[in-house]
Structure 1
Amino acid sequence: MTNAGQQQPRASFDTWGPWALLAAGAVAAALSAPLTGMSRAGMILCAVLVPAAVVLQLVWGRLRRGRPGPSRTGVCLYALRWAIAFVLTWANPFFAFYAVTGYYTAARELPRRLVMPGLFLTAVTMAGSEIGGWPPHGVILWVGFFLVLAVNVSMVSVFTRYAQQEQERSRVQADTIAELERTNTALQQALDENAALHAQLLLQAREAGVADERRRLAAEIHDTIAQGLTGIIAQLQVVAGAPDLDTARTHLERASTLARHSLGEARRSVHNLAPVALAADGLPEALKKTVTEWGERTGVRAEFTVTGTTEQLHDEVSATLLRIAQEALSNAARHARATRVGVTLSFMGDEVSLDVRDDGAGFDPAAVPERTAVGGFGLDGMRARAERIAGLLTVESEPGHGTAVSARVPLVRDDR
């Protein structure tokens, strides 16, 4: 937009500038003719060349629309206009108004190697006008002519060099802007592709999560509820054939205990279908409540900390981290015999990290057997959850020195 704004005034001046300067020179020459002692032959010459300059300008304007930029035709037209301007300035110095046109058109109409010669010719015309007109009379005027010409040529050289530097600077700036635009376009495309990949990743994670929950529930039903019901049936069958009331009462109590246990397992399985803690709260609040309730239930000192700038995470990311925290706390309660547990949620630019540390008994991670795909959560289950959303789970522990579970996953914001 800036280049277009700079080109528009220049194009207007290229179109109307020579006409205005020719008109100014003609008017000034007509008014000053008696004062400059303009001869009758000079007037006739001006009367012929001014219309010739008009025709030349008309032809020039038409040719430039079809063939802009330096060309052989442009060289010929420039030379012809210089000749007309030189003769007009010889007839009357005020036609220098028209001759000055050569200064600002040389760089655009002439090839690079002919720009300085063209400017020199214009400087000759201008120097003759500035000393009072052609030809110089006497040695003093000739000396003055060469001095004025030297000044004109020096100024033209300086301004031409400055203009070329500005033109080169503008070209480099335009190339830089074009490169930046290409880079920005490529970056935007990469961001769009990244957003699409994130969306695809979350969709795949959601589908994988659904399949995993189905397998987990199937395993839990088989390992807990189904086995509990089988045990209840077995106890009731014993009651049916019990030889005395005490034996029957004993097996009924066992059946009742199994029923209560199976009911608790059923409720736990239903609870694990979706993180209820995330229904009304964000991940930090849900983790804080989970850690607090776990500490009250187990009697272990539990602390929760948030670092970084809190952001609203995508549901899949929040659910994954909450499940990992719940499983890590459950493992600490069952196996660690810890006296203190710390849970830290860290927002780190494009990542979010969950760390669960305890000062319990610890273990050798290399000695932990791998679980099957349907065999509950455990370390492999937590690791699988993190990997489903392009995350990573690491476990650091050794016997007698506690355990640290760390999950790092991409920070995907909730755009709703």
Structure 2
Amino acid sequence: MSSTADIWYRRLESSVPWLPYIMLVLSTLAATLIDGRTAPEPTLALSAVTLVWLIALKDRPRLAPVYVAGLLVLCAALTTRSPLYGFFVFIGYLSVDHLPGWWKAPPIVVTGVLSGLCQAGGWPLQDYAMPALFPALAVVNVVIASTMFAVSMRIEEREREQGVMQERQRAAREIHDTIAQGLAGVVAQLEAAAHARARGADDEGHLHAATQLARESLAEARRSVRAITPHELEQARLPEAIEKVTTSWSQTNHVQAQFTTTGTPRPIHPEVEVTLLRAAQEALTNVARHARASRVGLTLSYMEDVVTLDVRDDGIGFDADTNGYGLTGMRQRVTGVGGELAVESAPGEGTAISASVPAVPA
């Protein structure tokens, strides 16, 4: 999903909680101003009771059965005042989210029957409304609603299955991002220690760095398996976390690295922040292992709808059409949050990696 479409989807999703109130007000106005079959005072009183019920119980998942049962009773009472409350009765379909499994079916059937009643002219049935249509309309509404319910249940089941698979993939990526990155640093320090020993120089600093990296990698791997926020993001905001990672990497690998932030930093969704942090770590790990670079630059850019991370190095480059596990995992992470990953490189010309993700608010 593109970032623009994702933003509009989030805006539409954020408006859903207000829909019951909007439909109740519109239905009440229509019933009192257009439908003159009943006195407006009892209709307004019943609408007020319904409004209080919505405000008091709508957002209490533990009381969902009570809320849904009471709402359907009120909907049935409202349909006796005016069939124009059929617009509000539709809310019955949206009220079952917090009910478990097949307990959603009875309220959906009742809502379908009430919708058919409103479409047939309301209760009591009027001669001009052809009351014989009520059973047919009720059946049609119930069949359509039940079909949609069955489809939604199947979609939820598939989403659960996909969630299990995604969690396994997440664990695999986390293991790679922590253990593999850490081991790469340990190996680099051990190789540096071996070279220092061969020259007769002191190797204690490299050995200490290797030990520290191994301990940090083990601790981070344990945290990753438990799906806890990386400790860098627990202690600082995203720009500070990436800057700290960059500085530590530069000191460990003795390569000049510079981090820059553009735009106005702001809190974004934790999953998106973790994605960008892991992308920075993976990119730096690849530079240390393969690039033979003398300089690396990281830029975190905050724009209106997206946040981008650009990593450039002056190393030996590679064929951009070749994807190792590191780049594959990075791309899966970025696309998993609705972003895009671009890689530009060629032998002898350095490498540029750009991760662009939606700026989903925290």
Higher Cα Rg: structure 1 or 2?
Answer: 1
Larger helix proportion, structure 1 or 2? 1
TM-score by length of structure 2 reads 0.49
TM-score by length of structure 1 reads 0.43
